[in-house]
A and B are shown apart, each in its own frame.
Chain A
Amino acid sequence: MLVTISADSPVPPYEQVRAQLAQQILDQTLVVGTRLPTVRRLATDLGLATNTVARAYRELEEAGLIETRGRAGTFVSAAGQRGRERAREAAARYAQVVRSLGIGPAEALRIVQAALEATNGREPA
């Protein structure tokens, strides 16, 4: 359970921190309830400005992956896991719909793919 920052990477440091923490939360390397380092601690350890790590934490919090509990610190939130569960439930419902319509798995996946690409295309740059 590490966070790595590379000065050579074209990815901004805050995004490197955000993406790695998000990945570890989503693949449950960091389980619900795990306390994250303080913003200051992580910034010091990684040689980053405090604002850089604070931005990464803010975005993770907005995504529901972490939550700040006052002075107790920042913790991996259960909301992120609930979000995944909702996605699985939606996928199960979709699978039932395409089966009832007689659509094959390959075409069903293509529809999902197109929908994801359309959603990504609508995201602000």
Chain B
Amino acid sequence: MESRRARRWLDRHGAADRPTTPLLRARLEARHRSETLSWVLAGVVMAVAVALAVVDELSPAPRSERAWLFQVGLFYVAIALGAVGGLVIQGRDERRIGAALTRRVAHAQAVRVGTVVGRWFLVTTAVTVGGGLLAGLLVAAGAADPRDRELGFTMLAAVGAFALIGLVGLVHVVRRPAVADDEQSLGDDLLLRREDALRAVAPYPAMLAAIAAVQSQSLAVLLGFLAYAVAAVVVAFLASWAVERAPAARPVSLSREAGA
């Protein structure tokens, strides 16, 4: 199972000619465990959300739209925290894997943060966080209806919270030690870091914006929030697709042949 996961990962990264290694298999297994944990937590949170929604529906005095949006926001924060928590647990597993290596390899020169996380992370963050803050600010400051302005403030607070959570995840991904025993596995380490960085900046604010759009009082606010939500989800999808298919290091002999 582990071997198949590593095989798929290498194939996706255009390195079908590379054999899987115990190190890559162990690292992907650690990622799989942490992702499973994050998804289970997300499932529990969603189940609680649905249960509360049903209770609310049956209640004689339903809550305000703002309170409902705040609650949904809290659920997303819980899911985001679960995703970052998964990254931390994965980091702990990877340190254990690294400690077992008899040979360790690192870059001899400083690597920029932008190189570590990759340009897709930067684009996704700019659209998700930057776009979310801008959308929230515009609605909070410019909407005619007071309820829309409240939605704008809620969006601002939510995007700020997600940005902070994402920052924690990013710091963890950047600062964690490289787990590599040769040049190829050091290249893999960079690719895995980029994939993990994207996990830290998942487009939760976009989902919140979609819900806020439905509750808005004017067409302009609705379209604004929806445009942001669609842009953030599309960019996140493209980023995920591109990063998961970025070329991995090729076998040394083949690289030399290709370069010759």
Bound CA–CA A9/B111 (angstroms):
27
B108 interface residue per 8 A CB criterion = yes
B99 interface residue per 8 A CB criterion = yes
Inter-subunit contact A45/B183 (CB<8 Å): no
B92 interface residue per 8 A CB criterion = no
Bound CA–CA A34/B112 (angstroms):
12
What chain A residues lie within 8 Å of B103 (beta carbons)? 4-8
Specify which of B107, B111, B175, B177 is in contact with A47 (CB 8 Å cutoff).
Answer: B177
Inter-subunit contact A45/B108 (CB<8 Å): no
Inter-subunit contact B101/A21 (CB<8 Å): no
Inter-subunit contact B102/A3 (CB<8 Å): no
A interface SS class: mixed
Total contacting residues, chain B, CB less than 8 A:
19
A28 to chain B, nearest CB (A): 13
B186 interface residue per 8 A CB criterion = yes
Within 8 A of A (CB), among B158-193: 175, 177-178, 180, 183, 186
Specify which of B99, B102, B177 is in contact with A45 (CB 8 Å cutoff).
Answer: B177
What chain A residues lie within 8 Å of B105 (beta carbons)? 2-5, 46
Among A7, A30, A42, A47: residue with most chain B CB under 10 A: A47
Specify which of A38, A41, A45 is in contact with B104 (CB 8 Å cutoff).
Answer: A45
Inter-subunit contact A37/B104 (CB<8 Å): no
Among B103, B109, B178, B183: residue with most chain A CB under 10 A: B109
What chain B residues lie within 8 Å of A38 (beta carbons)? 110
Bound CA–CA A7/B109 (angstroms):
22
Inter-subunit contact B110/A73 (CB<8 Å): yes
Among B108, B175, B177: residue with most chain A CB under 10 A: B108
Closest chain B residue to A48, Cβ basis: B104
Inter-subunit contact A37/B102 (CB<8 Å): no
Inter-subunit contact B178/A45 (CB<8 Å): yes
23 contacts between A and B (CB under 8 A): A1-B109, A2-B106, A2-B107, A2-B108, A2-B183, A2-B186, A3-B105, A3-B107, A4-B103, A4-B105, A5-B104, A7-B101, A21-B108, A35-B109, A35-B110, A36-B108, A36-B109, A36-B110, A42-B106, A45-B177, A45-B178, A46-B105, A47-B98
Which residues does B use to contact A, with CB under 8 Å?
Answer: 98-99, 101-111, 175, 177-178, 180, 183, 186
Which residues does A use to contact B, with CB under 8 Å?
Answer: 1-8, 20-21, 24, 29-30, 34-38, 41-42, 44-47, 73
